[in-house]
Structure 1
């Protein structure tokens, strides 16, 4: 999660860690890193992330609601990483509460790359990243992973695969953006959005066999290299068992046209099964919700790049 501006009240940290406190905690608990330079790398809804010694990334929960996800990351990512074709963070250093900070935190080797959300990659150059992400999701959604590494994961705890939950929330966020003058789509887009959210609000429960899902996959969490190639997937605090459409929402929030087709083709034979019936509706509805939430957050902290990409994602989701 990038951007270091102060978050609005809705995203306020319960325990905000600044650079000085992060340095004190890391230096005291990991002698090999004592004296290493520390700088804030990213800040998001649930965690603040610091780069230590240009080689390690430490992730500090900001809110109590993130703690369960922190524990899941520490338990699951070391097992999951060797099975995936893109890099993911692997917690190697576990920190304990100290110095007024009440929660555990962890450190992993720094993954190179920039968030797709803020790198300004043109639509025409997203095909390679999309195809690599499709292959990644094909591996992540392998049903065999459920028994091998994911049996203890919760089942879609935030109901992101349920459009009847996400569509009304998305509509409220869009109304808020419209009230700020940020969401002003042309009539065809507005009509398509209304139709999508109307259908989403009436959708039934998923009948898909659950798979291991990232759970919060959008353009902030895909890393790309300077050539636009996908090189990592970050922020696994919402990893869970869910309908595969939960992760396939990224096909609609981050890609369009040829790039989207490349992602779905790389996902392979499971694509038709995952998106049949109401699967595509689930993916598109979640894409709208996530992009609307990101746009709301970005506008509140004054992050212009994130806001532009989130608004483009809203258009992609109904294209």
Structure 2
């Protein structure tokens, strides 16, 4: 396979000049969104973002993402990037020049109570996207993950973190093998899953409203608890569970998403400290803190005495 050229500021500037035709001179300012040896996402002035597929695998996902964004847009209450131009920046490697969604990153702004309602409407809209139409665009189906396998991986990772004084393994004791069985994904519940609802993919305004969602290339048809888990990492478990509940999800998918997030963060931090993650440890620690915030049900359960009332599904799972 032919190696893709490394994008530089000059090649990016020449490309956007041919697309925007903004008069004479050097054109708009261009700069990479993140630092790296071969950045594939670039700010273009103050109004556009240029995204370059770095290889053939990414090329297929980027082409599918363009079609998927058009499909989901009518169902969502928040903005989805719009492409003003697309083509190939190198043989077989597509680009898209998108309008920039106004607002800041979820890493820089906290989501307010009204913003949680935006997240609830987002989850509701994702559930309403017709699966057949998404599948026709090439969106793949993904089988639900085994929470029991993830629990065992988290227990091993927690022991490594304990040796580094990073995490108390006793915190995982609440998730028993019986609980993972109760929190298995239910058949017939597949929806369109964004599968990347990280803080950097949420566009949040200064007043805490969620204004847009970026990064649709990894979307799948699968377990809605994965997006609840993603929100737990991005905005904290209490806000994620409140948003999912407002969206109509019951205790089982909410708690499944909560524990997917918690186990993931333990495994990912252990990998990060061992040098096996591209995400820096401070970011991984922040995600772990967010996922392990206690939700209201846990606080109530800790404070009350056992009584004769029969516990509900959620209490059983905890």
Q: Structure 2 length as normaliser, TM-score?
A: 0.72
SS of 1:137 mapped into structure 2: helix
> CA deviation digits over 1:95-153, x for unaligned, max 9?
3133xx7511111100122222x2163xxx643322210111101211x5224555434
Range with greater deviation from structure 2 (60-69 or 24-33): 24-33
**RMSD value over aligned CA atoms?**
4.0
Which whole-Å deviations, capped at 9, do the CAs of 1:19-54 have from their partners, x for residues lacking one? 33322333345535872211112469x973211121
CA contact (8 A) 1:132 1:266 kept: no
Q: 1:20 to 1:316 in 2, by over 3 A?
A: farther
Flag the 1:61–1:212 CA change in 2: closer, same or farther, 3 A.
Answer: same
Whole-Å separation in 2 of the counterparts to 1:16 and 1:171: 38
Q: Distance in 2 between matches of 1:138 and 1:65?
A: 30
Equivalences for 1:1-319 in 2 at 5 Å?
A: 16-32=6-22, 35-42=27-34, 48-98=40-90, 103-116=93-106, 118-119=107-108, 121=110, 126-142=112-128, 145-157=130-142, 159=143, 161-163=144-146, 167=150, 171=154, 174=157, 178=161, 181=164, 184-186=166-168, 188-192=170-174, 195=175, 200=180, 206-256=186-236, 259-268=239-248, 271-272=249-250, 275-276=251-252, 279-280=253-254, 282-288=256-262, 291=265, 295=269, 303=280, 306-316=283-293
Q: Distance between the aligned counterparts of 2:286 and 2:116, measured in 1? A: 16
The CA distance in 1 between the partners of 2:28 and 2:16, in whole Å, is 9
**Quick one: distance in 2 between partners of 1:187 and 1:169?**
12
Q: What is residue 5 of structure 1 aligned with on the other side?
A: none
Shift of 1:234: 0.8
Larger relative contact order (CA 8 Å, sep ≥ 6): 1
* 1:225 CA displacement: 0.9
Question: Cα–Cα, structure 1 residues 254 and 97, in superposed 2: closer, same or farther, change >3 Å?
Answer: closer
Q: Distance in 2 between matches of 1:129 and 1:266?
A: 12
Query: Is the partner of 1:108 in helix, strand or coil?
Result: strand
Cα distance change, pair 95–257 in 1 and its aligned pair in 2 (3 A) = closer
C-alpha distance in 1 between matches for 2:85 and 2:176: 44
Which stretches in structure 1 are left out of the alignment for 5+ residues?
1-12
CA deviations 1:252-292 (Å, max 9, x no partner) are: 32345753453133203xx12xx53xx34542343236545
In 2, the alpha carbon distance for the partners of 1:134 and 1:156 equals 23
Q: 1:104 to 1:110 in 2, by over 3 A?
A: same
TM-score, normalising length from structure 1?
0.72
Query: SS at 2:198's partner residue?
Result: coil
* Map of 2:313 onto structure 1: none
Q: Which runs of 5+ in 2 are unaligned?
A: 299-318
Change over 3 Å in CA distance of 1:156–1:302 after alignment to 2: closer
Instruction: Determine if contact 1:134/1:263 at 8 Å carries over to the other structure.
Output: yes
Give the secondary structure class of the aligned counterpart of 1:97.
Answer: strand
Which shifted more, 295-304 or 62-71? 295-304
